[in-house]
Amino acid sequence: MRATRCRSDKFYGCMFINAIGEYSDPDSPIREVCKEFKRLMRGYLRELADAAGASDPAALADELALLLEGATVTAQVSGDRRAAQTAKRIARSIIDEALEAG
């Protein structure tokens, strides 16, 4: 999530989070696509964490994915235009800690 994007008046959050909220049937193909996107995103974060030398790439990827989701929803729901900057500061701390342990 880019900080400039979530500061826009036209920021509507994550289309996958929005879509999954609209389809409550657990067997909905739309829900499956949304879940697959989130799985792929965590996988990409894990690849980056592994390449950076994190001591536990899976844990770092899970933490960063959760942070990204939280920042996106916070920016969308509360209109907090600083959510991305706050998440970036926290991410730096999490990453530094994971790399020091590695």
CATH numbers and ranges of domains, the chain: 14-101 (1.10.357.10)
Per-residue CA distances from 29 to 19, 38, 42, 45, 66 (Å):
11, 14, 20, 24, 23
pLDDT of the residue at 96: 96
Decide: residue 71, CB within 10 A, 0-12 exposed, 13-18 middle, 19+ buried: buried
What is the band of 12 on the pLDDT scale with cuts at 50, 70, 90? confident
How does the average pLDDT of the chain come out, rounded?
88
d(CA 31, CA 61): 22
Q: CA Rg, the chain, in Å?
A: 15
Q: Which two tokens stand for residue 87?
A: 């998440």
* 82-97 pLDDT per residue, tens: 999 999 999 999 999 9
Over residues 16-30, the mean pLDDT reads 88
d(CA 37, CA 72): 15
The dihedral built from the CA positions of residue 85, 35, 57 and 101, taken in this order, carries a sign that is positive
Of residues 32, 7, 12, the one with CA closest to residue 20:
32
Q: Is the pLDDT of residue 7 over 80?
A: no
